[in-house]
Chain A
Amino acid sequence: MSESENKWIGKNTIRPDGADKVTGRAAFAADANMPGMIWGKVLRSPHAHAVIKGIDTSKAEALPGVKAVVTATDIIDFPVDTPVPLGIQDMRWMTRNVMAREKALFHGHPIAAVAAMSEAIAAEACKLIEVDYEVLPHAIEIDDALADDAPILHDFIEFDGKPSNIAGTLEHTKGDVEAGFAEADVIIERDFTTRPVHQGYIEPHACLVSVAPDDKTTIWSSSQGQFMVRAMTALLTGIPQSSIRAIPAEIGGGFGGKTIVYLETLATILAKKSGLPVKMVMTREEVMRASGPTSGSKSTVKIGAKKDGTITAAEGFYWLQAGGLPGSPIRGAAGCALAPYDIPNGHTFGYDVVCNRSKVAVYRAPGAPIGAFGVECVLDELAEELGMDPLDLRLKNAAKEGTKAVHGPTYPVMGYAESLEAAKVHDHYKAPLGPNQGRGVASGFWFNAGGESSAQVNITEDGNVVVTTGHPDIGGSRAGIANICAELLGIDYRRVSVLIGDTATVGFSNLTGGSRVLFASSMVVTESTNNVIGTLCELAAKIWDIDPEAVTWENGEARPAGANAGQFPPLTLEELAARANETGGPIGAGSQLNTAGAEGGFGTHICDVEVDQELGIVRVLRYTVLQDVGRAVHPAYVEGQMQGGAVQAIGWALNEEYVYDKDGRVDNPGFLDYRMPVASDMPMIDTYIIEIPNPKHPQGVRGVGEVPLVPGLAAVRNAIYDALGIRFNSLPMSPPVILDARNRKEAAE
């Protein structure tokens, strides 16, 4: 079907869950209640690092109104010497993250949990729990954790034959880097640091769990995957998956941070012990102290090029904070850093460093913004050194179809160079700048993911459609699914309801993550819808008494084709549904796939800033996001991903950071002091959608949501350099940092 014939794909339809979301009806996790429900609260470690020598819960249990207490001994242990992978997680670390086991590894680490008749009683009971700690020295920053005399978090972790806080490494190599640098006319090598930042979802973690005496468990929670909630809860409690029904509440933002459980396991055990439904809701302070964030990092990036701009070699070393337990996104940092470029000799190396911070969680293209930051900053400097336009330098080295990436794959057709070419001719790139203003550009890559998805498409008796998929809708994916299903069936999109099933009503579907939801769910919805169309044609053939092959489906109706064309009046979806009972029964089809072919995504950003020389404040004046999205099934929500990702990058670049005190406690665990962008900080964010269809997807879709975070850190930084003549290699570039650097520069001049 040609573009112009599309009725719904590419149209900004009203989202199926829209009316619920604008009227307050939509039920998020904390909105659920059950009769007889009680409240759970978590006791958290007051120390950044301590051995737990003993826990006495007797006084808490004796407090009137307390119904159950849980400690690590109630949760299934996974010994540290045997990996238990679940997706990208490892249950050895997950069991120790939901509840401290041998040690408290960060301030705020759960130690015990209580369920009581009210939140106030539960909180009171937490104070009555006596914990015998042996307080240990802590390590917050990477350099603290890597120092020769660093406190070792885990005695079972060794590196280079010695106890270490380096929990793992990852390396990519292509060609001969040494030889490549020897060919270079210019080599630039710089060190960088980035700070941990929180995903910043506005909805705190929350859940409501009921466990019947036969262990039949119902979990209502907000997550990026009801099947993840079921699997992790089953592993951590011993209740079989078939007995757990995980219901996905509407999710109030996740950005990766809700791809693991925090409360669900605790609430399940509390509910089982008490025999009562248990509700748990984190405070914002708990969210900031004990969930997320993404890693802080330090890195060294070295790139060499010939005079004409041809990159001959590139190398990057990345150290990423994992928090208290292993698992930082070194794959994203080391894998994505050089991915936009055709580099003959490349080498990246990532170190996973444990430290006494909350365990990191996935955050939008995890690791990739860290990887890209150093590379895109060095390229900016290289361009200046070579006297080249920074977009031209990138274009000269841009990866394209057939390029073998340093991290391994050979690229299929994709639109990175197109994003650079579009940036070059964009009005924004040519617009004049005023005093104290500067412009920066940067690019970025994200892997994108496929994986398991399931869907069911049912035709209702009145000839409308209900689509059920298994992915929590985090940003409008239901609207895209409605567009695709309506397009295939040739009916108005408003006749298609799109629902998110729970773990008992739809087949296994992997996480809402990896920018995979519309990519993967549209594949199963397409297959299901096409099967439904096949059934509809068969029913029509039966009614007309002709071959099913002699029936075509067009514009929402079955038509006789071939030799029979025009012999019978068409049968509409409504007519066929009404006669389903006499012609064959219910009309519906399901599909389960392990989807493949997601292919990576690329984008380029242009950022203009103005630096206030008195206050050190950087104002973003104009921002443009250019990205190959494959096919924009619902353009407004595609733009929304591009805009939202860019603004998160601006926050990361300019303001967001945790402030720790000398005892290893977060000093700014709230939105007042952890300064995310607000409406008055931001300009409009322009978007430029490039559509080079993904040949491995029925509608040409590529993942969209994560790429737009990746280039932003360096785009802002390069713009500040253009405005101020100072290259900042550490984030955030907050007002005191800017002022200090400006004053030092002035003093030196």
Chain B
Amino acid sequence: MAKIHVTTKINGEPIEFLCDPSETMLDALRNELGLTGSKEGCGSGDCGACSITLDDRLVCSCLMLAAEAEGKEINTIEGMAEGENLHPLQEKFLEEAALQCGICTPGMLVAAKALLDQNPNPTETEVRFWLAGNLCRCTGYDKIIRAVLDTAAEMREAAQ
């Protein structure tokens, strides 16, 4: 089967790649582009470990075809830190031990950033429902929710 040529932007950089018509964006990221930060926990959009943003919209990259990236802008966990500076969410996850094994962490961070980008002052309930599509089996969510709320508070303060 002929490969499809895709021109897109990933983490701010123009990127071209070839993919099979049936290839998921997650497989293209991991297998074609070497961006293995996005994880496959289920392949069915239920665990959120593969979360990325597509034109600023949070999506499960396992449910998206790679060919759909044409002309779009994608952001992954690899683009979250700016150079050597971690994003405040990344810093807070480390400070507050909001990860144990770390497999859900990239997706959790991408999803949390997507929330704070559109809602800088979420309630605990809003954070819990926003992250309900990101499974974590280790932490019981407590420290993750706290880290997101604490980051939001600090970012609001810094923005003033």
Interface residues of A (CB under 8 A from B): 12, 14-15, 17-19, 21-28, 30-31, 199-204, 250-255, 281, 283-284, 474-476, 479, 634, 636-637, 639-641, 643-648, 670-672, 676-682, 684-685
Q: Does B128 sit within 8 A of A, measured CB to CB? A: yes
Residue of A nearest to B93 (CB): A22
**One of A18, A202, A644 near B94 (C-beta < 8 A):** A18
Q: Does B141 sit within 8 A of A, measured CB to CB? A: yes
Contact B47 A202 (CB under 8 A): yes
Contact B46 A252 (CB under 8 A): no
Interface of A is mostly: loop
Known: A476-B100, A647-B141, A680-B128. 12 other contacts (CB 8 A): A12-B95, A22-B86, A22-B90, A22-B109, A202-B137, A252-B101, A637-B100, A640-B97, A641-B100, A644-B137, A670-B42, A671-B47
Contact B128 A682 (CB under 8 A): yes
Q: List 12 A-B contacts (CB under 8 A).
A: A12-B95, A23-B90, A202-B49, A202-B135, A202-B136, A254-B101, A637-B100, A640-B100, A644-B139, A676-B135, A679-B134, A684-B145
Report chain A residues within 8 Å CB of B101: 201-203, 250-254, 474-475
Q: Does B157 sit within 8 A of A, measured CB to CB? A: no
Contact B145 A253 (CB under 8 A): no
Q: How many residues on chain B are close to A (CB under 8 Å)?
A: 55
**One of B38, B41, B102, B143 near A284 (C-beta < 8 A):** B41
Q: Does B103 sit within 8 A of A, measured CB to CB? A: yes
Residue of B nearest to A635 (CB): B97
Residue of B nearest to A477 (CB): B100
A30→B129 CA distance, assembly (Å): 29
Q: How far is the CB of A328 from chain B (nearest CB, A)?
A: 22
**Given contacts A23-B86, A24-B106, A476 and B97 within 8 Å (CB-CB):** yes
Q: Does B104 sit within 8 A of A, measured CB to CB? A: yes
**One of A27, A640, A681, A684 near B36 (C-beta < 8 A):** A27
Contact A24 B132 (CB under 8 A): no
Report chain B residues within 8 Å CB of A202: 39, 41, 47, 49, 101, 103-104, 135-137
Interface with A: B2-10, B65-73, B74-82, which one? Answer: B74-82
Residue of A nearest to B22 (CB): A120
Report chain A residues within 8 Å CB of B145: 679, 684
Contact A679 B46 (CB under 8 A): no
A17→B139 CA distance, assembly (Å): 17
Q: How far is the CB of A304 from chain B (nearest CB, A)?
A: 36
Q: How far is the CB of A603 from chain B (nearest CB, A)?
A: 14
Report chain B residues within 8 Å CB of A670: 42, 44, 46
Contact A200 B105 (CB under 8 A): no
Report chain B residues within 8 Å CB of A685: 140, 142
Report chain A residues within 8 Å CB of B46: 670-672
Report chain B residues within 8 Å CB of A25: 37
Q: Does B33 sit within 8 A of A, measured CB to CB? A: no
**One of B44, B90, B125, B128 near A672 (C-beta < 8 A):** B44
Contact B135 A24 (CB under 8 A): no
Contact A640 B135 (CB under 8 A): no
Contact A679 B144 (CB under 8 A): yes
A253→B35 CA distance, assembly (Å): 21
Contact A12 B97 (CB under 8 A): yes
User: Which of A23, A30, A474 is packed against the most chain B CB atoms within 10 Å?
Assistant: A23
Contact B81 A23 (CB under 8 A): yes
Report chain A residues within 8 Å CB of B132: 678-681
Q: Does B131 sit within 8 A of A, measured CB to CB? A: yes
A17→B105 CA distance, assembly (Å): 13
Smallest CB-CB A-B distances: 6 pairs: A24-B37, A252-B103, A647-B140, A636-B97, A21-B102, A671-B46
Residue of B nearest to A642 (CB): B140
Report chain B residues within 8 Å CB of A647: 139-141
Report chain A residues within 8 Å CB of B16: none
A21→B77 CA distance, assembly (Å): 10
Report chain B residues within 8 Å CB of A479: 97
A308→B86 CA distance, assembly (Å): 60
A21→B43 CA distance, assembly (Å): 21
Report chain A residues within 8 Å CB of B40: 30, 204, 281
A420→B96 CA distance, assembly (Å): 28
**Given contacts A202-B137, A685-B140, A679 and B103 within 8 Å (CB-CB):** no
Contact B44 A671 (CB under 8 A): yes
Q: How far is the CB of B63 from chain A (nearest CB, A)?
A: 12
Interface residues of B in 39-59 (CB under 8 A from A): 39-44, 46-47, 49
Contact A14 B138 (CB under 8 A): no
Residue of B nearest to A203 (CB): B103
Q: Does B99 sit within 8 A of A, measured CB to CB? A: yes
A252→B36 CA distance, assembly (Å): 14
Q: How far is the CB of B155 from chain A (nearest CB, A)?
A: 16
Report chain A residues within 8 Å CB of B97: 12, 15, 476, 479, 634, 636-637, 639-640
Report chain A residues within 8 Å CB of B94: 14-15, 18-19, 22
Q: How far is the CB of A500 from chain B (nearest CB, A)?
A: 13
Q: How far is the CB of B16 from chain A (nearest CB, A)?
A: 21
Residue of A nearest to B89 (CB): A22
Residue of A nearest to B137 (CB): A200
**One of A12, A23, A31, A646 near B80 (C-beta < 8 A):** A23
Report chain B residues within 8 Å CB of A680: 125, 128-129, 131-132
Report chain A residues within 8 Å CB of B49: 202
Contact A643 B137 (CB under 8 A): no
Residue of B nearest to A18 (CB): B94
User: Which of A24, A203, A647, A682 is packed against the most chain B CB atoms within 10 Å?
Assistant: A24
A545→B74 CA distance, assembly (Å): 65
A676→B135 CA distance, assembly (Å): 8
Residue of A nearest to B79 (CB): A24
A676→B140 CA distance, assembly (Å): 11
Residue of B nearest to A24 (CB): B37
**One of B86, B95, B127, B138 near A19 (C-beta < 8 A):** B86
Contact B95 A23 (CB under 8 A): no
Contact A475 B44 (CB under 8 A): no
**Given contacts A680-B132, A682-B128, A685-B142, A23 and B77 within 8 Å (CB-CB):** yes
